[in-house]
Structure 1
Amino acid sequence: MTLLQFFFDVALGLLLGTLGGLFGIGGGLLAIPALGLLFGLDQQLAQGTALVMVVPNVLLALWRYHQRNRIDWRHALLLALSSFCLAWVGSAVAVGLDAGVMRRGFVGFLLVLAAWNLVQLFLRPGAGTTELSRPWPWLGVLGGGAGLLGGLFGVGGAVLATPILTLLFGVSQVVAQGMSLALAAPSTAVTLITYAAHGQVAWLTGIPLAVGGLLSISWGVKLAHVLPQRLLRVLFTLFLLLCALLLGLKA
């Protein structure tokens, strides 16, 4: 790796970290199509490499969200444990799938999430609250499902959990993003370990991305708490569509 390439990777990490903090996803969702387009990595290798950045970003973003909106650690622990158990299953399946099938599945996954978020804009026009509208043990079901899909697609499950928390549990977008990070923290770690064990991680690319992400993710968290909740949800939907478009271009 040249010095120029190192600084390019750090700069890309700065951008991805800011977006990861803004949307509470660690930056991996955009990193995966970016690594495919800019570096020519196949789907599994792009997902594994993105996780090198995502794991530390998620941990730092979780702490920043907790500082601004206290997360009930009873809720966080249930989300984390249930997600962890099934993330291993999803990642173990993912490393053996065809890269083209994975990419098309990921595009479809993003489009469904974007459509879901658009529907929410009309179903729940309010800003949401800081309290759950359903009994907290239901978070275990959410954590398990999100962990399974997060392990399969290498995104930690937060991107799936956030719209479910706002629609079905009635919390605000920013509170949902913080809780989703608690879910993502252990599942991203076990997914990274699984991908690395199968040789699906480009460490020399992932580490500079992680450096850039750690330097910038706090900016995104701060911005998330300044923007109106409805605008934040619209931006999140547009972000999902952009990621699907970028990934579709490679297909």
Structure 2
Amino acid sequence: TGVLPGALPPGDYRLASTLPDPELAALGFLAGSYRFTRYKAANGPKPKRLVLPEGASKDEVLALAEALYFGRDLINTPANDLGPAELETAARELANEFGGSVKVTEGSGLLSDNFPMIHAVGRASDRAPRLIDLRWGSEHAAKVTVVGKGISFDTGGLDIKPGSAMALMKKDMGGAASALTFALLVMRAKLPMRLRVLIPAAENSIAGNAFRPGDVLTSRNGMTVEIGNTDAEGRL
């Protein structure tokens, strides 16, 4: 059903036959209907709409689709409008909506709090790197921790990517978007867990103070790491 919205003319549709999983079919249709419209005129194409299949829960389908759209919107937002600070804002808005908390360690604070690798990756950008720590749920519930990579744009650093490989590097924060999408689903469903989401957010840029191939950095646990390629920043 995911390909149907792109193939059908505008209008209202219903599924003619019963499917084993009507909710999945409806979600597929909504996933295929997604469009990133933030920078486009309001008078876009007319929608293709699907009558909710029998046996599908409207609330369940919409909750999943809204979370999916939330994550895709973050990933599709260009890096000039979405950097480490905007990822922090997205996390804070979720926490505020559902009664969670967010702690952020930013800029030089990463060094004083012993997160040197995040600082090294992001120090060449004028957009301060940070560690975003979102927490939600009962202290007595089972703990689930998710870590999402939040590189808002990846030039490759001094080992610079060619233009063809850099074009879509706004999506290098897709791990962070997925982690926040997961958090949205968990918190909205009020699942019995103690959730923690960690997002190391930075922009891997080029400047005179960028980390270099051949540098030896000391990590949080005291292990030294020799940099072979600055485009392998995710490992740091």
User: Which structure shows the bigger proportion of residues in helix conformation?
Assistant: 1
TM-score (normalised: structure 1): 0.26
User: Which structure shows the bigger proportion of residues in strand conformation?
Assistant: 2
For the pair shown, the structure with the greater C-alpha radius of gyration is: 2
| Higher RCO (CA-CA < 8 Å; seq separation 6+) | 1
